[in-house]
């Protein structure tokens, strides 16, 4: 049950944090993003990668990992980079952002697939979703989107990862394609986490605090 509830709680926590606290984007969010990128990347390398290569031929696995990277790049044409913690502001808009919703939903459903076999992965997704929810909510408020649209978007977005987890346990025969799907998701995670680490730096300058946060993310993922 925790695999279903935690991703929902993470999105709603990020949403409510913006509504109540009205934070400004700053150093703290960048550090949180850096931690989430390091944590998600480490969980992928420590847990998902060894498991997938143990169940599938090397080159085929590599192909699906690269397809996952390409899929995420394609999705970002429509999501504008929301998965790694920033969305470009395009002025006031009172229509429901369907393309953003669909691209994020595809991403979220896919990331829910391996959770039931890798319980620690849910914590990586939680840490990843909180800053994304914060950024999305702040973006929607600045864009002038109706409050009802924002609430609908965030609730549906919160349900997408649990939906992926549910489908992975209910679709007949999906276990046969487990390695291929997991490799695809590894590609998605590798792309997102490395972009987060890259974008959280300020002009490629050395930042000791950021380094400590990244090392902490790696260490915690390793212990788990």
DSSP string, the chain: -HHHHHHHHHHHHHHHHHHHH-PPP-HHHHHHHHHHHHHHHHHIIIIIHHHHHHHS-HHHHHHHHHHHHHHHHHHHHHHTTGGGT---------S--HHHHHHHHHHHHHHTTTGGG-TTHHHHHHHHHHHHHHHHHHHHHHHT--HHHHHHHHHHHHHHHHHHHHHHHHSTTGGGGHHHHHHHHHHHHHHHHHHHHHHTSSTT---HHHHHHHHHHHHHHHH-
Mean pLDDT, range 206-213, rounded to an integer: 84
Work out the mean pLDDT of the chain and round it to a whole number. 86
pLDDT digits (tens, 9 = 90+) for 165-195: 999 888 877 878 888 889 999 999 999 999 8
Say what the pLDDT of residue 90 is. 53
Say what the pLDDT of residue 169 is. 85
Say what the pLDDT of residue 26 is. 64
pLDDT digits (tens, 9 = 90+) for 60-75: 889 999 999 999 999 9
Say what the pLDDT of residue 23 is. 75
Say what the pLDDT of residue 25 is. 64
| Model pTM score | 0.88
């Amino acid at each position: 049950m925790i695999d279903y509830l935690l991703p929902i709680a993470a999105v709603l926590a990020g949403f409510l944090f913006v509504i109540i606290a009205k934070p400004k984007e700053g150093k703290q969010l960048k550090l949180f993003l850096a931690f989430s990128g390091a944590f998600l990347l480490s969980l992928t390398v420590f847990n998902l990668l060894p498991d997938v290569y143990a169940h599938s031929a090397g080159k085929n696995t590599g192909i699906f990992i690269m397809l996952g990277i390409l899929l995420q790049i394609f999705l970002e044409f429509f999501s504008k980079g929301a998965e790694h913690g920033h969305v470009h502001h395009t002025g006031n808009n009172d229509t429901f952002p369907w393309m953003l919703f669909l691209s994020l939903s595809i991403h979220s459903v896919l990331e829910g697939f391996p959770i039931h076999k890798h319980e620690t992965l849910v914590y990586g997704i939680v840490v990843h979703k909180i800053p994304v929810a914060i950024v999305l909510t702040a973006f929607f408020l600045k864009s002038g989107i109706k409050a009802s649209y924002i609430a609908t978007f965030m609730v549906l977005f919160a349900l997408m990862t649990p939906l992926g987890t549910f489908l992975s346990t209910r679709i007949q025969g999906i276990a046969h394609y487990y390695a291929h799907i997991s490799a695809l998701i590894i590609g998605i995670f590798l792309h997102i986490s490395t972009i987060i680490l890259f974008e959280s730096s300020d002009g490629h300058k050395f930042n000791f605090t950021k380094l400590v946060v990244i090392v902490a993310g790696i260490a915690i993922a390793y212990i788990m």
